[in-house]
Each structure stands twice: as structure tokens, then as C-alpha cells.
Amino acid sequence: MQGLNRLLIRKRTTLLLLGIFCIIGILIGRLFYIQGIKSGFYQKLAEDQRLRDIRVEPMRGTIFDRNMNTLAFSFDTESIYAIPHQVKNPKDDAKIIAEKLKLPVNEIYNRLLKKTSFVWLKMKPLPEEVQSIMEARIYGVEVAQKAQRFYLRGSLAAHLLGISGIDNQGLEGIEKYYDQYLRGIPGSEQAEYDSKGNHIPLGERRFIQAQNGASLVLTIDQVVQ
């Protein structure tokens, strides 16, 4: 009887040890998989959560008449944007943003759900709206400088100059025809943030300078036109 009990105890001990070794083996295998095979993936995932990469728009080239009088130029204004995958609570954050920017909640919510790396929330907001958004410190929502196009002579030669869109692209007329020269080459800025979405002043920072567009001199004379 005692021999039978010892045999059962030995079997149970063996099974227990085998179970422990199996668990240890699984954990070691999982650790190797994460730190070895998938290390690049998880490193990139951590960087995406820690670093924010935003597009830096170039300044669109100035258009002059034959006497170097300015007809069209660009200047920087503040705009508000979001990085959808970094917004932690789209539903609640959309309500806060909509209230501060005086925009429909559904419109903001739908933008925050987009499967893109970057979305504009409001162009040319009021100074108090910019201040309110900055004070709210909503993770994934930031304020950036964005170039706006201005036609100094109003309707003068409007049919010839055409117009440019909010994304710095030429849509009509000369703005469209010479778009590849006027629009320039975008850059990028990457800054480091903590887990609460606060910018780390001395953290990692990368910057690729945008190349502004070339200026264009026309053969027309603003006085004659």
C-alpha cells in the first residue's frame, strides 16, 4: 500500500515538474519572440506613442508682376490638428473640442475616428480658441503654424492667377499650372511627449526643414491689367 502511495506521489510530482517546465518554456519562448523576432515592431509601437511626427508645410512661392509688385503671397497662421491614433477617448474628447472650437460634435468625432495619421480640426481659429485648446491638454490634439494664401490685389487678374487650396496645392490658373514650382517640398517635425501628453522640452527631437516654393515673376503689369 505504501509502495502504491509513493508511486502516485512520484507520478504527481513528475507531472507537476513537467507542467512547471512547460510553463517556463512557454514564457522563455514568448520572451524570445517579443525581444527577438518582434522587437522592431514593439520598439516602433513604443516610439509612435512617445513621439509625434507632424508635417511641416513649406511656404508657397510669391507671385509678382513684371515690375516686382506682389500679386499673391503666403503667411503663417495658427491651425488646430489631431493625430487620430493618439486620441485616447474620441467620444469624450470630441465633446470638449467641439465646445471650445464651436463646431458640431459629430463632425469632430468623425474626424478623430479617421484611419489617417493627421487631420485638421480647424483652420484660422480665434486666439481664444487656440488658448482654450492648449489649456485643455488633450492628448493627440495640437496647434501648428499653417500657411494661408493672400491675393494682395483682390480681383486683379484673378482669372489668370487662379486660386490655391487649404492643403497648399494650386487649384486653378497659374497657381495650378506652376504648382510643382510654387508649392515647395514639405518637411517634418518630431517631438517627444510623456504619458500624459505633455511636451518634454529636453526630450528627443527631430526636424527636417521644409523647402519653400519658388517665386514667380509674370509678364503682366498690375497697373495696365
**Is 80 exceeded by the pLDDT of residue 131?**
yes
Residues 32, 143, single domain; the answer is no
pTM of the complete model beyond 0.75: no
* Residue 44 pLDDT class (50, 70, 90 cuts): low
Residues 30, 58, single domain; the answer is no
Percent of the chain with pLDDT over 90: 24
**Is 80 exceeded by the pLDDT of residue 105?**
yes
CATH code assigned at 97 = 3.90.1310.10
Backbone angles phi, psi at 67, to 5 degrees: -100, 15
* Residue 106 pLDDT class (50, 70, 90 cuts): very high
Reduce the DSSP state of residue 102 to 3 states and report it: coil
* Residue 85, pLDDT score: 85
Cα separation, 54 vs 50, in Å, equals 13
Tell me if 225 is assigned to some domain. Answer: no
DSSP assignment of 121-143 equals EESS--HHHHHHHHHHT-TTEEE
* Residue 3, pLDDT score: 55
Q: Which amino acid is at 119?
A: V
Cα separation, 24 vs 34, in Å, equals 15
Residues 21, 111, single domain; the answer is no
Number of domains in the chain: 2
Q: Find the mean pLDDT for residues 190-213.
A: 69
Residues 32, 56, single domain; the answer is no
Reduce the DSSP state of residue 16 to 3 states and report it: helix
Q: What pairing do the DSSP bridges indicate for beta strands 70-82 and 141-151?
A: antiparallel
Smallest CA-to-CA distance from 210 within 189, 191, 179 is with: 189
Tell me if 222 is assigned to some domain. Answer: no
Residues 170, 205, single domain; the answer is yes
Q: What is the dihedral of CA 129, 101, 109, 92, to 10 degrees?
A: 70
The per-residue pLDDT for range 141-174, each reduced to its tens digit, is: 988 877 788 888 776 667 788 888 877 888 888 9
Residues 15, 118, single domain; the answer is no
Q: Which domain holds residue 11?
A: 2-37
Tell me if 200 is assigned to some domain. Answer: yes
Upper half-sphere CA count for residue 94 (Cβ side, 13 Å): 15
